[in-house]
Amino acid sequence: MSIGPWRPWRELATTPNEMLRSLISGFGEMSPRIDVYQTDHEVVATAELPGLVNKDDVEITATEDTLTVRGEMRRSEEGEERNYFHSERFYGNFSRTVSLPVQVQPEKATATYKNGILEVRIPRAENQKQRRIPIDLH
C-alpha cells in the first residue's frame, strides 16, 4: 500500500457505491482527516478532532489491518439555546476507517489527544518479515 495525500473527490469518483451509502446513511456526517505513517516498530495515525470533543464521545477500534475513529461532536449547552444566524462549524456524528500499511498488534495500541489532534500508536506485529521468493526456471 502506498501512502499519499488524501483526495476525497477522487475517492468519491472511484467508489460510487460508497458515495451512495454515505448519502443514505447520514447526511451531514463528517470524516476526520487522518494521516498514517509507519516506523520500524509501530504505525502512527493522527486525526484532526477540533472543537468540543470529550474522550467519552470518541471510540477508537483497531484490527490487525484497520483503524476506525468514530464519535460525536456536541454543541455546548449554551449554544443549543441560541438562535444562530450563521453556523459553519460541524456538530454531530463522525466516523473514519483507514487501512493500515502493515499488520499491527491492536491490543497494545495507545491514544492521546492534545490541541485538537488525536494520536494513535499501534505496535507492528512481530512476525512481519519479508521473504524473497526465488523463481525456479523450468
Q: List, in order of start, the domains of the chain with CATH numbers.
A: 30-123 (2.60.40.790)
Cβ atoms 83, 66 nearer than 8 A: no
SS3 8: helix
All three cell numbers of 70: 468514530
Q: What is the CA radius of gyration of the chain?
A: 19
Look at residue 136 in the predicted model and tell me its pLDDT.
Answer: 80
Mean pLDDT of the chain: 79
Task: For residue range 32-85, list pLDDT tens digits in order.
Answer: 889 999 999 999 999 998 765 778 889 999 999 999 999 888 776 654 567 777
Give the whole-number percent of the chain exceeding pLDDT 90: 38
